[in-house]
Structure 1
Amino acid sequence: MGEPLRVLYIDDEVDLAESVAAFLERGDDRFEVETVPDASEGLDRLDAREFDCLVSEYDLPDGNGVELLTTVRETRPALPFVLFTGAGSEEVASDAISAGVTEYLRKGSDPERYRLLRNRISDAVDRGRAEREYREIFEEVPDGIVVHDVADGEFVDVNEEFARMFGYERDDLLAAGFERILPDEPPYTPERARQRIREAADDGPETFDWPGVTSDGERLWVEVHLTPLRPRGEERVLAVVRECTTRKERERDLERYQTVIDTVPDMAYVLDPDFRFALVNDAMVDVTGYPREDLLGAHASLLFDDEAIDEGEWNRDRLRSGARESERLETRLETADGERIPCEIRGDLLPRGGEGEWRGTTGIIRDVTERKERERKLQARSAAMDASIDGMAILDADEEYVFVNRAHVDCYGYDDPDAFLGETWRMCYGPEELARFEEEIMPELFEQGDWRGETVGVRADGSTFPQELSLSLTDDGRVICVVRDVTERKRRERGLERQNEQLEQFARVVSHDLRNPLNVVEGRLELAREESESAHLDSAADALDRCLTLVDDLLTLAREGRRVDEREPVDLGALAEDCWRTVDTADAALVADATRTVRADRSRLKQLLENLMRNAVEHGGAGVTVAIGDLENGFYVADDGPGVPDDAADEVFEPGYSTADDGTGFGLNIVAEIAEAHGWDVAVAESPAGGAQFAITGVDADE
């Protein structure tokens, strides 16, 4: 049996009232029902004892149920009230709802109406009890408690502590609304507060600090913990609020102080009177290798040995005697990994406390090792500049030389570096280049911070030479110059240009002056074959085919050579199938097991594969089998033909090498050129079937 459910039923139809009471008690043994005939006696009973629910007819001898409800609500706002009437109407129902009725139910002769009444009473009482328990807990919690409507962030309920926290009475705060206690300054705006509430409803609990405004306009920082709620299907967010103004102020002060000392490039510290670290900056953590939490509270001896402590004891005696500054102390610092580094310490006395007590020291520790390392690196850099094969110089803000290395002196044909010092860079260039420097190079240098290109320098004897020049502007206005004499490179480039011109001329001759007569011969041979069946004509035709193939190979070498165009992803297996269809393979067979996709110039890779396939058929015969497959960093093309002689493995890629009667000797040379143009390596060895296997490696896969 559960907790008793005490019901007061007011109805002037006494027999009906007793029947209803009996039905309620018989259906649920928790029910204890008392009946009275009018409103006056009902109010007396309410004053005499506690009831969990009041049930009333609308038509009563001394008034009506809505008037009774209004009277009850004045003293018992939470008492469940069920209007159970046989004289109901829409108007009665509307008046009852406006007065705050808990349930409205029409009478009827069907027992189902009584069961429905019992259920409505039971539900109303359970809700009321839960509401009372919730309110008791709500007010007992020492923190501020708020229930927010997710839709607009408004207060659904607040406890007394929350209202007190902001200087309001609870009812006044509920009436004032959500925005009354919020600042309106980015990022702490009312709309952002609503967004945080919606985020908690969607994503789950979260905790953050937020500023509020009290009734007298003061700023109040609070820690807010939001939790989503869904009572009776409604979407709510519960906020537990705790004042944290003092903590926020301490955090801000500490943050400001920590920010200040973290900007100091040297190690900075605060020691308490017991020589324990109370504050350290980022540099202290970085240099010593100790986490901040290990340093804070640790004695100074963690970093400094007894000799250092005894030597000056951070100048404690001097500081205690009243001196404001300490002398610099040279000592040694030991890092977390045991490294001992020389350092320089300068300390100062913290302001005395209210009673004049000594509060400790603050100081700066400078790592002298870093300074010495910089000096060593500067010396090494100077030595490296002196040893450099490129000319190197430094100009000051007035564009005068303050440093030149030996290579710079030699580059311009001088004997002594002193010839440059105190002079400007203009001594190294002729009139035309000086104009270019003034109009183009120097403006770009000062705008972009650097310049790199080719210029023409003037040597001490007046001769000129081409040079690569790199200029860099430093933060203090100096200019770093790097000069390289490119005379030999230019000479080689001119030679290559002449060779390219000759190759292009050769290609024109081969393409036009040689191919045209061969085409004429080919046509005449066809006419001769129609008139005669001489075997000599077949031999001539074979020789002519070889000549035309040779012309094609020579043109490929002359015009393509080691050039590749834009690379793209290429399906190796699919390309091999395409190549096989364009090569005269007779009865040869292809096994394409390659699955790799490579980045390559498709047309040149196609030419490479066709040449290797053609080579296999030419040397292996009509029935040869050609296989193409993947390697770990490339692919292979293999056959089951006679293979390559061991002593010829290094010669097969040379121009003109061939063991076939009708070979040109350039097919494999073209393969080597294409591979090299892609940055690949190609090598030949015996295949598993005893033939030749060409391995192409160093190939970039397309991921």
Structure 2
Amino acid sequence: MSEFSRFQNALTDTGRFQSDDTAVPETITVLHVDDEPDLADLTATYLERQHDDFEITTQTTIDSALETLETESVDCIVSDYDMPSMNGLEFLETVRARDGDLPFILFTGKGSEEIASEAISSGVTDYLQKEVGTGQYPVLANRIRNAVEQHRAKRAVERAQKRFSKLIENSTDVISVVGDDARFQYLSPSAKHIFGYEPEEMVGEYIFDYAHPDDRQGAMESFFEAVKESDQQPVVKFRFKHEDGSWPVLESRGRNLLDDPDIRGFVVNSRDVTELEDHERTLKRQSDQLEGITNAISHDLRNPLNVAQGSVELARESSEPEHLDRIERSLSRIDEIVESTLVLAEQGRRVSETGDVSLEAVATAAWEMVDTAGANLRVEGSATLVADESRTKQLLENLVSNAVEHGSPSPRTSCEDAVEHGSESHSDDAASDEGVAVRVGVTDDGFYVADDGRGIPADEREQVFESGYSTTETGTGFGLAIVKQIAHAHGWCLSVGDSADGGARFEITGVEFSDR
């Protein structure tokens, strides 16, 4: 018996795939065919006396018997052998052409070893020779019942197996049986549409040859530990090499049934959780974003509110205009923070619609929206991005603004003035008379924005993208956080380093181009 057969039988025996329609009905319908009417009626009478659930239909010709089979459902046929139009075995052959395993009992007075042998070879369910007296009818009744119950049990198993096969074939899980040597012994048909391989071609393969190299060691440790400790039921997530070359994330739940004689393997249920993993990452990113916004608002709004409230009290006590000026500046500051917060929340949504976007055109448009303060822009090559044009423009506006406002070549005395992480701040020395040079260019898998300013210290490069992180009192700290959100919403990666001119270089990768 194959591993798969043992596996099916084990599941079927538990009744997991049985349904109510497998129960034996109360009535057993029998078609009795005998060309002697009196004997046929007598047999029917005694059979119905033996069992109340027997329902006997009697026919005296083969033609009428075949008509009955056309119109009625029959559980068993009891037939004589020697009849005028065709004998019992010829009748059996006709029945088998219609129904390959309907119970058929040859009940005949013409008995011989030759007929019995031929009957068995022809596939008769049972053979019983007629005798004198009524003692033969309880035997015939029991033969009928046994034949029908075995036939119904066989049909029930077949239905259960068919249902099981359809379930595993259309399941979103792959059921596999793995030996203690970590080689596939069986894979359910669903492996084809989940893994991309035909199940048969994977049998005998080492399962961890399909695991991503970075995930292989951890998966192997979990498996072999569970092989040694039979009570463990590990759950392992790892990347699996699909037939098309992709690496979907699988979640595999295993159970050690190596000692089970029906399985003799490690049963593993695996499902593709790639979309779920992406969804969880999106939720975490949104949660982190919300936490950052909350922290920024609670921190950044409190100061201007305190200033405004204190200035209102002073203004009530005196008529000095500087108190009203402070209130106006505080309210303006609050307005900037609220506006940046709304932008940050909006730009964090995943991009659902994209189009062709010219990097050169969108960079020029973004430049025109920024107070460049004597700076200059150079677009070094162009390409057509597959992106959301509005959000890409916002991303470039924030990067250009950051470069112009905080990339001045003139030295500063404090490292806190080295970079501003938002587009809203206004430093007194934001740009020298010479102005900063900003370059926008194309890479193999994305684009960059670089300047020739003073750059960003290495120990600050992770912090610059945090919501609310600012090195000046006037910045909201949302400018580069918005850049990060827009990049992630597109599925892009964002990094910052040194430019060739000594300033900062922001690089966006993972970009799709429509003109390449």
* TM-score, length-scaled by structure 1: 0.30
Higher relative contact order (CA 8 A, sep 6+): 2
Which structure: larger Rg? Answer: 1
The TM-score normalised by the length of structure 2 is 0.38
